């Protein structure tokens, strides 16, 4: 199917051709026709499925440049806001719409200066609400409202902010909601604020036949050494390493670098400038491994990821699916590698029960124990007061990312081969010989 057959504007069709898009994705085929027809739409869509183009088609249908703010896009994170704004600007290059991003963690003053000239605003709920309270943004002319990654915004505790912003928009508007999942809170929003919405969904962009999933059971004090061994063995493509906390991200990134592996960290405790530089380097292939939390990585469309490592197994099963969905896209091979220490068994068992995945158990290879250095506070992580300011309290990663800042997080020990879960961090019941721990009951030998 050709893009023009979906009813898009000539300006958008021309930009798509110049950007070398060959054919619409499944979510684009299903959602663009009702979007450009002016209907409210609920779209089930994974990261990387092409949803930004889908709602941009509606924005370009509605917005007349130079007549004030007419389109508002809400996203859960700063990085996604920047990414979406950049895409909209690219798609609308022949319509010359002025797109402005607003999010916390940066000075509000340049945003205040830019907002009066905006045709489209892409922002995080907290900072948008700050602007509403300051009367520096006016939503009375909004004709199309987009909730992007809606489930993640709710996971992060933004539902009250989102509802306040929705109520500030005109009732006579088009509302588009894109979400990987449709939990009860999302259903509440759709029933309360959408008018006879059309529902569409697209299958995951992960091809199971292209994705190999494996796991290793490893003593806690060899976990980091195993990660180094595997990263050095398969030194091709791009790698994402997921951890459950900022503290572990910093520990892994620091010690990978000390073991001559090019790694960069990304989490909500880092400055916006630092996170932007990190993503630019990773997109350009200048960084081999991106070490990240779920919140920081959610919604980012990163192409060419060949390996996903779960250094920590996520507590929620759906987060595992989101993680592995970053590889094996569009006819590309991918591999998901899970490193199971003592604390990971329960989470991994839950994932296996919920999704019945085919995850192969591999024998632990002979690995060289590597030296690790203890955790040190990194940029943006030291002063807890930094999370209490008005600009940081809202917008950006917000409440969800702050939950990763825990006083009871891992206490890293130095020496050879210690993992981020040192013996000092175990309960008395866990403080025993690793060989005696219960192994997972799933997978094949």
Mind listing the pLDDT tens digit for each residue in 247-293?
A: 999 999 999 999 999 999 998 788 878 888 888 888 788 899 999 99
| DSSP letter for each residue of 388-417 | TSHHHHSSTTHHHHHTT--TTS-----EES
Half-sphere exposure of 143 (CA within 13 A, CB side): 17
**Which one-letter DSSP state was computed for residue 304?**
T
> According to the model, what pLDDT value does residue 440 have?
53
> According to the model, what pLDDT value does residue 70 have?
98
Distance CA 32, CA 301 (A): 20
Where helices occur in 136-245 by DSSP H, the ranges are: 150-155, 159-168, 184-193, 223-233
Sign of the Cα torsion 240, 241, 242, 247 reads negative
Q: Which residues contact 202 (CB under 8 A, 6 or more apart)?
A: 25, 26, 27, 30, 43, 44, 45, 46, 49
Half-sphere exposure of 39 (CA within 13 A, CB side): 15
* Strand boundaries in 370-412, DSSP class E: 371-372
> According to the model, what pLDDT value does residue 209 have?
66
> According to the model, what pLDDT value does residue 378 have?
45
Q: For the whole model, what pTM was predicted?
A: 0.65
> According to the model, what pLDDT value does residue 256 have?
96
> According to the model, what pLDDT value does residue 284 have?
82
Phi, psi of 310 (to 5 degrees): -100, 95
Distance CA 267, CA 274 (A): 10
Q: Which residues of the chain have pLDDT under 70?
A: 46-48, 203-209, 295-301, 328-332, 375-445
List the domains of the chain with CATH numbers.
Answer: 3-201 (3.40.50.300), 208-436 (3.40.50.300)
> According to the model, what pLDDT value does residue 99 have?
98
Tokens of 344: 């990971």
Distance CA 351, CA 353 (A): 5
Tokens of 21: 């898009």
Tokens of 247: 């503290």
């Amino acid at each position: 199917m050709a893009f023009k057959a979906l009813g898009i504007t000539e300006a958008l069709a021309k930009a798509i051709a110049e950007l070398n898009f060959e054919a619409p994705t499944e979510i684009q085929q299903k959602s663009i026709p009702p979007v450009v027809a002016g209907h409210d739409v609920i779209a089930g869509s994974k990261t990387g499925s092409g949803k930004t183009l889908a709602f941009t088609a509606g924005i370009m249908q509605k917005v007349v440049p130079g007549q004030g703010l007419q389109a508002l896009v809400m996203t859960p994170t700063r990085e996604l806001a920047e990414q979406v704004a950049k895409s909209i600007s690219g798609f609308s290059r022949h319509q010359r719409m002025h797109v402005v991003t607003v999010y916390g963690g940066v000075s509000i003053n340049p945003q205040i200066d830019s907002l009066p000239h905006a045709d489209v605003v892409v922002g995080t709920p907290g900072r948008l609400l700050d602007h509403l309270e300051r009367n520096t943004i006016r939503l009375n002319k909004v004709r199309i409202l987009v909730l992007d990654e809606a489930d993640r915004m709710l996971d992060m505790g933004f539902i009250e902010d989102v509802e306040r912003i929705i109520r500030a928009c005109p009732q006579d508007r088009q509302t588009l909601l894109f979400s990987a999942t449709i939990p009860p809170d999302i259903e509440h929003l759709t029933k309360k604020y959408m008018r006879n919405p059309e529902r569409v969904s697209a299958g995951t962009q992960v091809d199971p036949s292209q994705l190999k999933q494996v796991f290793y059971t490893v003593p806690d004090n060899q976990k980091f050494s195993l990660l180094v061994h595997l990263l050095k063995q398969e030194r091709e493509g791009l790698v994402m390493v997921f951890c459950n906390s900022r503290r572990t991200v910093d520990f892994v990134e620091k010690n990978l670098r000390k073991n001559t592996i090019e790694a960069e960290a990304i989490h909500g405790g880092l400055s916006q400038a630092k996170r932007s530089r990190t993503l630019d380097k990773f997109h350009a292939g200048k960084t081999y491994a991106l070490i990240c939390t779920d919140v920081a990585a959610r919604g980012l469309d990163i192409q060419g990821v060949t390996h996903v490592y779960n250094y920590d197994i996520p507590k929620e099963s759906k987060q595992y699916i989101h993680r592995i969905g970053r590889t094996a896209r569009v006819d590309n091979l991918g591999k998901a590698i899970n490193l199971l220490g003592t604390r990971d068994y329960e989470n991994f068992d839950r994932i296996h029960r919920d999704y019945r995945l085919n995850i192969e158990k591999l024998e632990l290879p002979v690995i060289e124990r590597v030296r690790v250095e203890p955790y040190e506070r990194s940029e943006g992580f030291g002063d807890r007061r930094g999370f209490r300011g008005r600009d940081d309290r809202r917008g950006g990663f917000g409440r969800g990312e702050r939950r990763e800042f825990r006083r009871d997080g891992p206490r890293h020990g130095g020496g050879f081969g210690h993992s981020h879960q040192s013996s000092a961090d175990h309960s008395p019941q866990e403080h025993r010989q690793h060989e005696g721990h219960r192994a997972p009951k799933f997978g094949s030998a």
